[in-house]
Amino acid sequence: MKEKLQEYALIAEIIGAVAIVFSLMFVGVQVQQGSIQTEANTEAIRGQVRESMMYADLQIIEFYGQYIPEEERPLSNWDLYYEMTMRTRENYWVQYRNGLLDEDTFNSYTLVFVDIIHSKPEFRDRWENESQNEVVAGFRDEINQRLRVEMD
């Protein structure tokens, strides 16, 4: 009888060890999923902050264009249009890179900006001069690549 109890205890111990291993695996998967969700939430918050900052910049540019007479400012309405379009597209690039914007939408908006640069030589000059220091490097590279493709 004592041997039978020892066998049952040994079997129970093995089953318990297997259950602990499965429990730890389950907890590990849950922690990993929680980490992924936290990362996604953090990126969404960053996206909202970037969007708010861009919106504030656009309001400043719009105010500048509406309330300062054109003859008193160094930038024309076309320059303001360029600046607003460039800043929005730069933000879209960041959103696309971070997986918050799909490729088709990103491409459709980016093509508009590339067309703007092609539409006026002064926009092309402005892009070439300002993009070196004033925009996110990856966005600059993306637009420059598209400009090279369109020129070929």
Could you report the per-residue pLDDT of 19-42, keeping only the tens digit for each? Answer: 888 888 888 888 888 888 888 777
Q: How many domains does the chain have?
A: 1
37 φ/ψ sector (left φ>0, alpha ψ -120 to 50, else beta): alpha
Could you report the per-residue pLDDT of 48-64, keeping only the tens digit for each? Answer: 877 777 777 778 777 77
* pLDDT more than 70, % of the chain: 98
Flag whether pLDDT at 139 surpasses 60: yes
Per-residue model confidence (pLDDT) at position 144:
92
Expressed as residue numbers, the domain containing 93 is 2-151
Could you report the per-residue pLDDT of 93-110, keeping only the tens digit for each? Answer: 998 998 888 899 899 989
Flag whether pLDDT at 152 surpasses 60: no
Per-residue model confidence (pLDDT) at position 98:
86
The mean-pLDDT minimum among 18-27, 64-73, 121-130 falls in: 64-73
Return d(Cα 152, Cα 149) in angstroms, integer: 5
Flag whether pLDDT at 151 surpasses 80: no
Return d(Cα 94, Cα 84) in angstroms, integer: 16
Return d(Cα 95, Cα 139) in angstroms, integer: 11
Per-residue pLDDT, averaged over 139-146, amounts to 93
